[in-house]
């Protein structure tokens, strides 16, 4: 068992701390007293509400209450940790580069207050070389005569499944150029996971691995989204293509779902950051740059399907958006595609009625979009906003509640238009919608709702592929 301190009480720091507390003693440090109080109240069973939403997190904190607590007192946080994880935010700047000011601030605090030998690991997603920068800051500001090794241990968590991702990871990547420190980190993780799961490596390789993994997953999504646009053009069904491609074991089915684009706190930030990093080193990552362009194009492609129906001026129109979080079961709206679509509709004069299964997502939408006040209405029941005044329904994320539409209720809508931003409706339901007078638009499977234009394809081939 080790004493662990985690800097940062966000979507990474708190779940990670709760997981480590299964076998280690954990202190979560954050200067925000409100977040600290939220965590401690949950640990002590005084509250069942956290400042972040993550399935199973509250239960895990309470289960391991004897091994974890939170503090905003830096001296308490750095009393005697053997391993420190820096899990603070690295929001992108206007050029797409990770902002390292919070990481550097954490390093300086560690240097000025630590009193014992320890290992410091960056868990935040940072550009390669950041661990060396952290090491320099610590050495330049160190007050006490202690040995501090610095390395990297990037997180690979998906919001909504972070607790399960931590419990059963595909692999745990960590790097340190100090072999003794690397061995100590290995021993730390062996309390929680089998040796086959561990991937020790050099510091900079660990930092690159994080970006490489997220960029490759994002590339799979954008690759399939580009095919989805072709599928709509020729009458193919992208869901069928996904199944055929995904069953190739060399490729795999995960992250091949076509949709209106990826969002969230990781893929947009990390793809931009590593692409910018490559440009700065004059080693451009052209495939990743294309991935970013396709992602932006896909969102516009989906939104244009709505505009094509009604025209560019949406004044007097009312739309439902089911699912405003960037994906199901999260309150995180960072780079959320349904938020982008909702804003585009409101910018064009429409009123938007928003429902999400996570109450915090609705609260965050209000807090982050005050400039749209009066242009949207929030709802806490899935069908309560359905009326004769509604012109269309947009499915924003993949929650299972949105997969089985109640056609009888939706027929009240004056505009019988369904826009499936996540391609989650099955073919049978789509055909039932069409039979009930609805139109259906998606990303790459519009053909389910219409006949394939065979003669158009034949003429195209004759004109373009014959000598």
Residue 423 dihedral angles phi and psi, to the nearest 5°: 55, 45
- Positions marked active-site: 266
Class of domain 3-201: alpha beta
| Model pLDDT, residue 93 | 80
Across the range 450-467, mean pLDDT stands at: 91
User: Are 3-201 and 213-449 the same fold in CATH?
Assistant: yes
pLDDT of amino acid 94: 79
| Residue 265: per-residue pLDDT | 85
The yes or no reply on domain 213-449 and CATH 3.40.50.720 is yes
pLDDT tens figures, 277-292:
999 999 999 999 999 9
Domain segments of the chain as ranges: 3-201, 213-449
State the chain's mean pLDDT as an integer. 96
Count the neighbouring beta carbons within 10 Å of the beta carbon of residue 465: 7
**Backbone φ/ψ region at 153: left (φ over 0), alpha (ψ -120 to 50), beta:** beta
Q: How far apart, in whole angstroms, are the C-alpha atoms of residue 462 and residue 456?
A: 10
Q: pLDDT digits over 157-192, tens only?
A: 988 899 999 999 999 999 999 999 999 999 999 999
Taking Cα atoms as reference points, which of 120, 113, 116 lies closest to residue 75?
113
Strands 68-71 and 318-322, bridge-based pairing? unpaired
Q: What is the pTM assigned to this prediction?
A: 0.90
């Amino acid at each position: 068992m080790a004493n662990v301190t985690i800097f940062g009480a966000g979507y990474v720091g708190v779940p990670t701390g709760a997981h480590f507390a299964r076998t280690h003693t954990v202190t979560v440090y954050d200067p925000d007293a409100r977040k600290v109080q939220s965590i401690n109240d949950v640990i002590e069973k005084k509250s069942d509400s956290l400042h972040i939403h993550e399935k199973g997190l509250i239960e895990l904190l309470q289960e391991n209450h004897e091994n974890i607590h939170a503090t905003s007192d830096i001296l308490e946080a750095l009393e005697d940790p053997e391993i420190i994880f820096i899990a603070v935010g690295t929001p992108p700047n206007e050029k797409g580069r990770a902002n390292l000011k919070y990481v550097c601030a954490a390093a300086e605090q560690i240097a000025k207050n630590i009193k014992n030998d320890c290992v410091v690991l960056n868990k935040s997603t940072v550009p390669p070389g950041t661990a060396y920068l952290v090491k320099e800051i610590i050495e330049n500001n160190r007050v006490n005569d202690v040995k501090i090794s610095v390395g990297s241990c990037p997180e690979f968590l998906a919001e909504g499944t972070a607790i399960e991702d931590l419990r059963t990871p595909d692999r745990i990547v960590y790097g340190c150029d100090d072999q003794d420190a690397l061995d100590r980190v290995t021993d730390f993780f062996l309390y929680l996971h089998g040796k086959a799961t561990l991937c020790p490596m050099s510091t900079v390789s660990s930092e690159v691995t994080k970006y490489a993994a997220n960029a490759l997953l994002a590339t799979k999504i954008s690759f399939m989204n580009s095919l989805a646009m072709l599928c709509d053009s020729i009458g193919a069904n992208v869901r069928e293509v996904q199944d055929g491609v995904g069953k190739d074991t060399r490729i795999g089915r995960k992250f091949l779902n076509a949709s209106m684009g990826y969002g969230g706190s990781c893929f947009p930030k990390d793809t931009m950051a590593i692409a910018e990093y490559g440009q700065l080193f004059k080693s451009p990552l052209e495939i990743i740059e294309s991935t970013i362009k396709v992602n932006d194009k896909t969102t516009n492609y989906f939104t244009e399907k709505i505009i094509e129906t009604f025209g560019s001026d949406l004044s007097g129109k009312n739309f439902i958006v089911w699912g405003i979080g960037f994906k199901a079961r999260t309150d995180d709206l960072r780079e959320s595609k349904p938020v982008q679509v909702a804003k585009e509709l409101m910018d064009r004069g429409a009123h938007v009625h928003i429902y999400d299964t996570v109450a915090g997502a609705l609260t965050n939408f209000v807090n982050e979009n005050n400039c749209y006040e009066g242009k949207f209405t929030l709802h806490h029941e899935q069908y309560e906003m359905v009326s004769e005044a509604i012109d269309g329904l947009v499915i924003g994320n993949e929650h299972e509640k949105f997969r089985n539409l109640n056609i009888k209720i939706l027929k009240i809508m004056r505009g019988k238009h369904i826009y499936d931003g996540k391609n989650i409706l099955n073919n049978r339901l789509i055909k039932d919608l069409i039979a009930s007078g609805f139109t259906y638009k998606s990303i790459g499977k519009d053909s389910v709702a219409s006949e394939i234009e065979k003669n158009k394809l034949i003429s195209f081939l004759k004109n373009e592929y014959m000598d």
